[in-house]
Amino acid sequence: MAALYCTSASEANGALSSRRDRSRSSSPMVVATPVRTPVSTAYDNPCAKVSLASGRRVLRDARHAKHWPDGQKVGRGFGQPYLQYKYARAVAMKQKTVEGRPGGGWLAKGIAPNDYINFKIPGHPTLSLVVRNAINPHAFQESSELTLQPTGRLRTACLILIH
């Protein structure tokens, strides 16, 4: 069983509110089963063993030291432009080395080498879920077998269980 996390409680509630509207169910917790399995072998294959370099610790250390590991001064941070999932994976795999964008907007603020960008990657392109059951959230929290503790701070958000 794997756990997937909603990005925020509000997003989870939004998604589940729509569901509630249709199903007239009052439970905000969902147990879901993936209905499609990714099959691609290209760089956009979500099952490929590629860790998308979030680099949060590297960035934090660099910002604390005010320079990158190679000694260059850390510039400004830009967040959070969207980047499609498949292109983000290509960046992580170092297949895509250049990101092209139209000028203006956040790029007009004077981006320069040694700045950093927090790309926001929306969605999982191939994951679709079918709802099998709903669990009362209070019962879920009180369960001795399932605990939200391993998710750390995300325990305040929605936890979706994939069988």
Residue ranges in 60-99 that form contacts with other proteins under rule CB under 8 A: 60, 63, 68, 75-80, 82-83, 88, 90-92, 94-99
- Regarding 152 and contact with other proteins (CB under 8 A), the answer is yes
> For residues 129 and 146, which CB has a smaller minimum distance to other proteins in the complex?
129
- Regarding 129 and contact with other proteins (CB under 8 A), the answer is yes
* Min CB(137)–other proteins separation in Å: 17
> For residues 76 and 138, which CB has a smaller minimum distance to other proteins in the complex?
76
Size of the chain, expressed as the number of residues it contains? 163
Work out the widest C-alpha separation in the chain, in whole angstroms.
58
Site residues for other proteins, 130-149, by CB under 8 A, read: 130-131
Whole-Å CA distances, 61 to 58, 64, 65, 76, 95? 5, 5, 6, 14, 26
Q: Using CA of residue 122, residue 126, residue 151, residue 58, what is the dihedral sign?
A: negative
* Min CB(21)–other proteins separation in Å: 12
Q: Which of 82, 114, 124 is nearest to 99 (CA)?
A: 82
d(CA 135, CA 25): 11
- Regarding 22 and contact with other proteins (CB under 8 A), the answer is yes
